[in-house]
Structure 1
């Protein structure tokens, strides 16, 4: 459902023929993702397009392109809004990619769960670099987001519960300026 929160009214109900495992919008498009299908809604005319996908989990939008992770294959993908692949990226520094987000310049930031790191990928997918790791307190990062105007990045990470002999961990959020 699209809701105008200021007017407190429903704008449109979107009927899906697949599960909703991720949602992203850039103000022009709304993408509703599942591991097998994605629905793209043009927010200008509310038209819908359904595209068959291939295992993507988390998604993000930037300048009309759809970026996604394929967790079990350690891949980062970029597609046009039509579903046409632009590139697929794999690297040893990306192991079980969870969420991804983009900065104002189109750099892709990925939470690499099993590498305990945050990796940044260039907009053309030609180079990548680990920018945060366990040395910075990152452990099992899952969620990541960047405020594109300010460059503030938030990363969720585990932290060990102090004085706990059971090795339990809590989730916490770290804030970084990029």
Structure 2
């Protein structure tokens, strides 16, 4: 304890330069003999700073420097492979009734179906029913550790997972499908309107991107202050938080229609290809595309990338939740 106390006292002194040595130097003019004629000053005084006489080494600081020195190499869609880790069956779900889901950093999955049910599942597959809504919940997003927002017809419900009660209903005109939380706001993909932004503090609704074309099953992802959207079955678009479109990619129709979307730490975009049993990968600039066929997956619908575990959760229409590990080759 005494060593730790002394360390806490010494470290700030080295950081602010208190222990640096100051030497006083005096330079005398060579023309001192002409003092009565040409010399106006005797010389100059300055302070020079040199390294302290005591050497202080911080183990933590050295470790931090080593970690920060590791270069980051951008990943490519060509180097990605995925492997199935586990499958979790969604209890009592009928064919084609899966709708949407969201995953917490700790791995809890909140999911909905066309039977208007909302439930929560842990990594072991244990399911707990939360509530039944007046309408089907199309998509879900975490607002905080115990609160989710669920999109539905003409409204968004804010639901407390602990109490299993709806705390608030935000009404608006239009059917919202994809929904994502971002810095105190909800971004929603609304049919025939586009991407709308809702301030949770006051319920104010504004248009981020005006669109006439968004149809059913248009989903959103947010990464690095950018908004990604699947729409009209084959279009993938990327926008800034000011609503400016950065790029657009049109997927191959033969590979299946686009549904859920997520983005990994490298900015690589993943799209669930319903009816194609595959995952489309887009480069961060949206220019290149690659498809990963997943034979075990039946009609993938929703996707979620977990940045902590570097894994992806896939929600399938046939009622299974599949967890895949993502790896990058050199």
Scaled to the shorter chain, the TM-score interval is 0.7 to 0.9
1:25 has 2:181 as partner: yes
Aligned to 1:39: 196
1:151 has 2:307 as partner: no
Cα distance per residue 1:56-77 (max 9 Å; x no partner): 61111122222111243x1111
Q: Distance in 2 between matches of 1:44 and 1:133?
A: 42
Matches within 5 A, 1:1-178: 2=158, 14-37=170-193, 38-42=195-199, 47-50=204-207, 51-53=209-211, 54-55=213-214, 57-72=218-233, 74-92=234-252, 94-134=255-295, 137-157=296-316, 170-178=318-326
**Does the CA contact (< 8 Å) of 1:117 and 1:139 recur in 2?**
no
Cα distance per residue 1:6-53 (max 9 Å; x no partner): 89995x764422222221113353202212223213557865412422
* Bigger RCO (CA 8 Å, 6+ sep): 2
**Does the CA contact (< 8 Å) of 1:27 and 1:43 recur in 2?**
no
Cα distance per residue 1:83-109 (max 9 Å; x no partner): 221111013275310111111222111
Q: Distance in 1 between matches of 2:225 and 2:203?
A: 16
CA shift for structure 1 position 131: 2.7
- Pair 119,88 (structure 1): closer, same or farther in 2 beyond 3 Å: same
CA shift for structure 1 position 81: 2.4
Structure 1, unaligned runs of 5 or more: 159-169
Aligned to 2:65: none
- Pair 173,14 (structure 1): closer, same or farther in 2 beyond 3 Å: closer
TM-score (norm 2): 0.43
- Pair 69,132 (structure 1): closer, same or farther in 2 beyond 3 Å: same
Q: Distance in 2 between matches of 1:4 and 1:132?
A: 37
Higher relative helix content: 2
Structure number, greater radius of gyration? 2
Q: Distance in 2 between matches of 1:156 and 1:174?
A: 7
- Pair 76,16 (structure 1): closer, same or farther in 2 beyond 3 Å: same
Aligned to 1:165: none
Deviates more, 1:60-69 or 1:91-100: 91-100
Structure 2, unaligned runs of 5 or more: 1-156
Q: Distance in 2 between matches of 1:97 and 1:9?
A: 31
CA shift for structure 1 position 55: 1.2
Aligned residue pairs, count: 163
